Amino acid sequence: MSEQLDRLAESHGIQGAYISELGERHVISDDAKARLLRALGVDPDSGEPGSFDEAQDQATKSCSLPPFVKRRTWGVACQVYSLRSDRSLGLGDFEDLAKLAEIAAGAGASFVGVNPLHALFLADPGRFSPYSPSSRRFLNPLYIAIDTVEGGAELVAEMRTTQSSRLEAVQGDLVDYPAVGALKRELLKTVFDRRKEAILGEEPFQLFVAGAGDALRDFALFEALSEHMVASGQYAGWHSWPEEYRDPRSEAVQAFARDNEHAVLFHQWLQYLAEDQLAAAQARAKTAGMAIGLYLDFAVGVAPDGADTWADPELTVRGARIGSPPDMFNSSGQDWGIAPLSPRGLAERDFRPLLESFNALMRNAGAIRIDHAMGLARLWWIPQGSDATGGGYVRFPLGRTVDAVAEASQTHGCLVIGEDLGTVPPGFRHAMSEAHILSYRVLYFERHGDVGFLAPSAYPEAALACISTHDLPTLTGWWKGTDMQLRADTGRQDRAATERNMEERKRDRRALILALKEAAVLPEEFDRVADGEESLPDDMPTSLAEAIHRFMARTPSYLLAVQLDDMVGSEKQPNLPGTTDEYPNWRIRSGVRLEDLDSNQRFQSLAAAMREERPETA
């Protein structure tokens, strides 16, 4: 091992070793250090030392933490695309989100948490993972409720009469993104073409465009160019485009902008509509009585060939991807295929780009969740030519990144939750607590070693507690072992491992029953189960689901997120990590329409239990 290489790597923020989630020390190889240095633009043999300074790990600001949060509130978490209603067109939209917020507020909830709403690739709706966005500064236009746009209701009504089969074709149990994307883009384009002159003359639109400035112009230009490229047989992402179009300041791109001003304006208008409808959803949530309102999600990074990396290539690193190291759940680690931000690029701009991204998200939110919050301190980079096992952690100055989050939080009075699951660096959770960034605690992981579940009293106050997440089985799925069967069905584990895991899950279920009894929330009919006199039920009855939610509601954690899927008894989880086509990730629609939630017995039962455990006046 070269001491010179070690010093060079450390001076550029590359960690030579790290502690795993099991407490084991792992040292990264010299080859990984050399590759990571090259990704940072540094020659590993003769490069100049970097300026990474551990003194910058100290934050000077803290996030907003309104006093009402300490009342221990609860909210509903969902995937917006999954919402189903009589009026929406094949996937949930901002009107559905606003309606859910009003329903949840009436049931006593203080917030509605959702998946990332970041802009994806409108020219290629098949790229639909919300955690691999084209831009974190802008919104996904597919969430626009067309029937609430002037001229849109009439157009949709006309289509219901003349093309009813086309509308019916997108109303299946899985979102058909290509079909929905084509349909909604066609409708929106028709509205825009019919009302273009009036739209361009509307003062709110003009003010929005002026306020968003060059960032919006660049994004809309990317979207227009992306559509042009797809129509020409290219891909939506810019890595495949002809060389002269890969530079947003090139003469070819400027000529395209002049010749296609109408298309650029169309995409600016889409962002105006999306922003306006999201703001309206937040306003309706607050008017309905929610203390927090919308709880939005911030993805850990962006697609390497999307709008953000095209418009500002110096801000990201092309020679590496973000992922995670090998751990107890993924022995080969994970490669998320996401472009990392450049530590040097951020520092040279005083971390303003990060601040601007958080400002864009927080202005329409009462709370946000930072996906993989450890990314504020470090990220697992996978250099070109390596898989996830050949990566290493590259550090960011935690004090500077937290200060950016905190400044935006204070500006907008927005709560911040940091998803701190996985390999958490020493001292990270303490730093988050000091900055008033709430922790994220999931029932499945809050354990006494490998056996019992922690009592509610063991959960921290400064946290959001939940039973499950989008990457984990629903409560019903966990109880039935659906996640394990899925891993077997998709070839991710063999039969022996599946049988072993099923036996472990049986022990976990019994341990949870015992924890419920200890917490005095177990229904009487399960006393004999707890005493070992009866077998565990195969299915998850509503009474047991309610007891588990009461168990979580009794934690001292400030916030409790209840999955909509669990409130309606869904068995299917939104995403199965590590799969692509083997499982319908990010496509599963709710089995219960919004119009039916008021009469859904399980939804109302769990909501009533939450009101009892966490009353608004507590």
Output the 3-class SS for 453-508: ECCHHHCCCCEEEECCCCCCCCHHHHHHCHHHHHHHHCCCCCHHHHHHHHHHHHHH
Please choose, from the candidates 131, 110, 98, 130, the residue with its C-alpha nearest in 3D space to the C-alpha of residue 561: 110
Confidence of residue 617 (pLDDT cuts 50, 70, 90): low
Lowest mean per-residue pLDDT among 1-10, 210-219, 276-285, 592-601: 1-10
- In this predicted structure, the answer to whether residue 271 has a pLDDT above a threshold of 60 is yes
Secondary structure (DSSP) of 364-400: T-SEEEETTGGGGTEEEEEETT--GGG-EEEE--HHH
573 in the Ramachandran plot: left (φ > 0), alpha (ψ -120 to 50) or beta? beta
| Residue 53: predicted pLDDT | 80
Sheet holding 415-418, edge to edge: 415-418, 367-370, 293-298, 111-113, 73-77, 559-563, 463-466, 439-442
- Looking at the domain assignment, is residue 603 inside a domain? yes
DSSP state of 49: P
Lowest mean per-residue pLDDT among 191-195, 489-493, 585-589: 489-493
Domain residues for 566? 438-456+463-618
Query: What's the pLDDT tens digit per position in 426-458?
Result: 999 999 999 999 999 999 999 987 779 999 999
Query: What's the pLDDT tens digit per position in 539-554?
Result: 999 999 999 999 999 9
Q: What is the mean pLDDT of residues 114-131?
A: 98
| Residue 567: predicted pLDDT | 98
Helix and strand tally (H, E) in the chain? 21, 16
Q: What is the mean pLDDT of residues 562-569?
A: 98
- Looking at the domain assignment, is residue 486 inside a domain? yes
Query: 3-state DSSP call for residue 139?
Result: strand
Q: What is the mean pLDDT of residues 495-515?
A: 93
Name the token pair of 326: 């090998």
- In this predicted structure, the answer to whether residue 485 has a pLDDT above a threshold of 80 is yes
User: Which residue do the tokens 């922790």 mark?
Assistant: 439
Q: What is the mean pLDDT of residues 37-53?
A: 91
Q: Which helix (DSSP H) or strand (DSSP E) does residue 118 occupy?
A: strand 118-119
- Give, in order, the Cα–Cα distances in Å from 499 to each of 328, 483, 495: 18, 13, 6
Please choose, from the candidates 402, 464, 392, 452, the residue with its C-alpha nearest in 3D space to the C-alpha of residue 427: 402
Residue of 3 and 597 predicted with greater confidence: 597
Domains contained in the chain, number: 1
Please choose, from the candidates 462, 443, 464, 465, the residue with its C-alpha nearest in 3D space to the C-alpha of residue 454: 443
| Residue 437: predicted pLDDT | 98
Burial 71-88 (b: 16+ CB within 10 A, else e): ebbbbbbbbbbbbbbebb
| Residue 618: predicted pLDDT | 43
Beta carbons within 10 angstroms of residue 330's beta carbon: 16
DSSP state of 132: S
- Looking at the domain assignment, is residue 556 inside a domain? yes
| Residue 264: predicted pLDDT | 98
Strand partners, 73: 559
- Looking at the domain assignment, is residue 364 inside a domain? no
Lowest mean per-residue pLDDT among 53-67, 227-241, 370-384: 53-67
Query: What's the pLDDT tens digit per position in 172-225?
Result: 999 999 999 999 999 999 999 999 999 999 999 999 999 999 999 999 999 999
| Residue 56: predicted pLDDT | 76
168 in the Ramachandran plot: left (φ > 0), alpha (ψ -120 to 50) or beta? alpha
Helix, strand, coil abundance in the chain, percent, nearest 5: 50, 15, 40
Q: What is the mean pLDDT of residues 107-124?
A: 98
Please choose, from the candidates 27, 339, 5, 296, the residue with its C-alpha nearest in 3D space to the C-alpha of residue 143: 296
Residue of 574 and 580 predicted with greater confidence: 574
- Looking at the domain assignment, is residue 475 inside a domain? yes
Give percent of the chain above pLDDT 70: 99
Query: What's the pLDDT tens digit per position in 7-34?
Result: 999 999 999 999 988 788 999 999 999 9
Q: Which helix (DSSP H) or strand (DSSP E) does residue 129 occupy?
A: none
- Give, in order, the Cα–Cα distances in Å from 463 to each of 180, 185, 335, 614: 37, 40, 28, 15
- Looking at the domain assignment, is residue 161 inside a domain? no
Q: Which helix (DSSP H) or strand (DSSP E) does residue 77 occupy?
A: strand 73-77
- Looking at the domain assignment, is residue 595 inside a domain? yes
Q: E strands, 218-329, where?
A: 293-298, 320-324
- Looking at the domain assignment, is residue 493 inside a domain? yes
φ, ψ of residue 121 to 5 degrees: the values are: -125, 95
Q: Given the DSSP bridges, would you call strands 135-139 and 118-119 parallel, antiparallel or unpaired? A: antiparallel
| Residue 121: predicted pLDDT | 98
How far is residue 292's CA from residue 77's CA, in Å, rounded to a whole number? Answer: 13
